[in-house]
């Protein structure tokens, strides 16, 4: 039997697909061991293909967490689906996430049809096993096996860490031999400004429960680093960001009475930003109306979609 030293190093890309809210980002964060994508129980939370890097002694797994594949209702929706299709054509293994706590539905079957053209091996992961009974998990494993021709089917709880390592080992085993693609200390290739914008958007999604989620985009307008007047040899980062909504009626939802909602968003986002940037953060948030941006090519380009 070969020892780990004798085994070839493997490296490559795994793309996570699934309908919106199938637990893809939570699973990505659990495998990477830190937060690289935003998590919310609102569908369509992920809007970019986020790369998280898993470093193991025998291999390096680059996870691409895509937006949820869905039937698009807007130009933004079409562009999100294009991101997924482009990613799928270029990866070494596909991870199809199906939540254990919801029956297999039209969305899962839609994705299964899209995966018929994919050449890479498919590993089906039944996610959120902590939120389902053993009977539900068993039924979901059977239903999943009938959806696609899968190399493996694995039940996982990213929240509890159940079978996460087993899944990592299995995925690395399906990668081609090759050297690491990223340096050991790197866990994502998301640029800082986009991570900042996503953390602010996540905080806003948590605070606003009405019609805003799909209509909300965040841009970082300015990032200023200067010496911290309160702490010696430390940095203070000023973040000026805009929260864009589509309709004037949505603006008061984000501001709240007397500005209390936007303040709460700022407080929640600041904690994540200080962890990300390793410095004290002064966060300045403003809400602006960018009419019907989800269907306007120029506005989508401006917002980075």
Asked if residue 160 and residue 91 are part of one domain, the reply reads: yes
Q: How confident is the model at residue 263 (pLDDT cuts 50, 70, 90)?
A: very high
Determine how many CB atoms are found less than 10 A away from the CB of residue 224.
Answer: 10
pLDDT at 37 over 60: no
Instruction: Report CA-CA distances (Å) from 184 to 32, 36, 180, 181.
Output: 12, 16, 8, 9
Q: State the DSSP H helix or E strand holding residue 166, giving kind and residue range, or none if neither.
A: helix 164-173
pLDDT at 66 over 70: no
CATH number at residue 28: 3.40.50.300
Closest CA to 284 of 298, 295, 270: 270
Closest CA to 141 of 122, 131, 156, 155: 155
Residue 180 lies in a domain: no
Asked if residue 120 and residue 21 are part of one domain, the reply reads: yes
- β-bridge mates for residue 93, sequence order: 14
User: Greatest CA separation found in the chain?
Assistant: 68
| C-alpha 284: how far from chain center | 25
Determine how many CB atoms are found less than 10 A away from the CB of residue 134.
Answer: 10
pLDDT at 44 over 60: no
The parent domain of residue 15 ranges over: 10-173
Task: Give 211's DSSP letter.
Answer: S
Residue 125 lies in a domain: yes
Residue 5 lies in a domain: no
Query: According to the model, what pLDDT value does residue 52 have?
Result: 79
**Residue corresponding to tokens 């941006």:** 293
Q: In what order do the strands lie in the sheet with 235-245?
A: 217-227, 235-245, 280-289
Asked if residue 197 and residue 155 are part of one domain, the reply reads: no
Asked if residue 154 and residue 272 are part of one domain, the reply reads: no
Asked if residue 72 and residue 110 are part of one domain, the reply reads: yes
34-38, 157-161, 167-171, 270-274 — most confident range: 167-171
Asked if residue 238 and residue 94 are part of one domain, the reply reads: no
Cβ contact 4:169 at 8 Å: no
Token code pair at residue 128: 């959120």
35-39, 142-146, 245-249: range with lowest mean pLDDT: 35-39
Listed residues 144, 173, 202: the one ending a domain? 173
Non-local (6+) Cβ contacts of 221 within 8 A are 240, 241, 242
Token code pair at residue 199: 């953390």
Distance CA 151, CA 193 (A): 38
Cβ contact 63:32 at 8 Å: yes
Into how many domains does the chain fold? 2
pLDDT at 46 over 50: no
Query: According to the model, what pLDDT value does residue 41 have?
Result: 44
Distance CA 211, CA 250 (A): 8
CATH number at residue 278: 3.30.300.20
Residue 185 lies in a domain: no
Judged on CB neighbours under 10 Å (0-12, 13-18, 19+), 200 is buried
Asked if residue 197 and residue 169 are part of one domain, the reply reads: no
Listed residues 173, 204, 237: the one ending a domain? 173
Distance CA 59, CA 260 (A): 47
Asked if residue 296 and residue 212 are part of one domain, the reply reads: yes
Q: pLDDT, tens digit, for every residue of 82-140?
A: 666 666 667 899 999 999 999 998 889 988 988 888 889 999 999 999 999 999 999 99
Q: pLDDT, tens digit, for every residue of 85-97?
A: 666 667 899 999 9
Residue 181 lies in a domain: no
**Residue corresponding to tokens 């007047």:** 229
* Degrees, nearest 5: CA angle 122-69-193: 105
Residue 179 lies in a domain: no
Token code pair at residue 116: 């018929």
Asked if residue 23 and residue 158 are part of one domain, the reply reads: yes
| C-alpha 97: how far from chain center | 13
Residue 211 lies in a domain: yes
Asked if residue 168 and residue 286 are part of one domain, the reply reads: no
Residue 1 lies in a domain: no
Asked if residue 112 and residue 201 are part of one domain, the reply reads: no
Asked if residue 147 and residue 99 are part of one domain, the reply reads: yes
């Amino acid at each position: 039997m070969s020892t780990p030293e004798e085994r070839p190093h493997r490296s490559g890309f795994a793309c996570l697909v699934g309908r919106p809210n199938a637990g893809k980002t939570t699973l990505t964060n659990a495998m990477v061991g830190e937060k690289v994508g935003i998590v919310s129980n609102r569908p369509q939370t992920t809007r970019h293909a986020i790369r998280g890097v898993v470093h193991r002694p025998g291999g390096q797994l680059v996870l691409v967490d895509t937006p949820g594949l869905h039937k698009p209702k807007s130009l933004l929706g079409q562009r999100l689906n294009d991101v997924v299709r482009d990613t799928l054509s270029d990866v070494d293994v596909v991870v199809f996430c199906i939540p254990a706590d919801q029956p297999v539905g039209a969305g899962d079957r839609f994705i299964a049809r899209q995966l018929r053209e994919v050449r890479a091996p498919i590993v089906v992961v039944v996610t959120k096993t902590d939120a389902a009974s053993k009977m539900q998990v068993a039924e979901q494993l059977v239903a999943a096996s009938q959806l696609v021709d899968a190399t493996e089917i694995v039940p996982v709880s990213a929240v509890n860490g159940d079978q996460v390592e087993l899944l990592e080992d299995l995925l690395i085993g399906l990668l081609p031999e090759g050297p690491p693609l990223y340096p050991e200390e790197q866990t994502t290739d998301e640029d800082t400004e986009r991570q900042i914008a996503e953390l602010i958007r996540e905080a806003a999604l948590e605070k606003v429960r009405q019609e805003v989620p799909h209509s909300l985009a965040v841009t970082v307008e300015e990032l200023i680093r200067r010496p911290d007047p309160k702490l010696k040899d430390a940095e203070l980062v000023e973040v000026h960001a805009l929260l864009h909504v589509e309709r004037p009626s949505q603006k008061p939802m984000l501001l709240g009475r007397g500005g209390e909602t936007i303040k709460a968003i700022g407080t929640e986002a600041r904690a994540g930003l200080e962890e990300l940037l390793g410095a004290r953060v002064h966060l300045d948030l403003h809400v602006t109306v960018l009419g019907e941006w989800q269907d306007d090519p120029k506005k989508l380009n401006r917002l980075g979609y």
